[in-house]
Amino acid sequence: MNILKLSINFCVATVFLASCAGGKYAKTEKVYKKQAKELSKLYKQSPVTGQLEKVNVNDQQWIASINFGIRKPNFVVIHHTAQDSLGQTVRTFHSAKAGVSSHYVVGRDGKIVQMVNNLFRAHHAGLGKWGNDTDLNSSSIGIELDNNGTTDPWTDAQINALMQLLTYLKTTYRIPQANFIGHMDLAPTRKNDPSRFPWKKLADQGFGFWYEDYLETPPADFNPKMALRIIGYDVSNVDAAIKAFKIHYIQQDVHTAFMSDQDLKILYSIYKKFL
pLDDT, tens digit (0-9, with 9 covering 90-100), for 159-212:
999 999 999 999 999 999 999 999 999 999 999 999 999 999 999 999 999 999
What is d(CA 65, CA 257) in angstroms, rounded to the nearest whole number?
A: 50
What is d(CA 164, CA 100) in angstroms, rounded to the nearest whole number?
A: 24
CB-based contacts of 166, cutoff 8 Å, min separation 6: 76, 180, 202, 205, 207
Taking only the tens place, the pLDDT of each residue in 253-271 is 999 999 999 999 999 999 9
Q: 77: buried, middle or exposed (CB in 10 Å: 19+, 13-18, 0-12)?
A: buried
C-alpha separations of 245 from 82, 99, 269 in Å: 20, 28, 13
Q: 68: buried, middle or exposed (CB in 10 Å: 19+, 13-18, 0-12)?
A: exposed
What's the whole-model pTM score?
0.87
Q: 63: buried, middle or exposed (CB in 10 Å: 19+, 13-18, 0-12)?
A: exposed
pLDDT at 16: 44
Task: Grade residue 231 by pLDDT with cuts at 50, 70 and 90.
Answer: very high
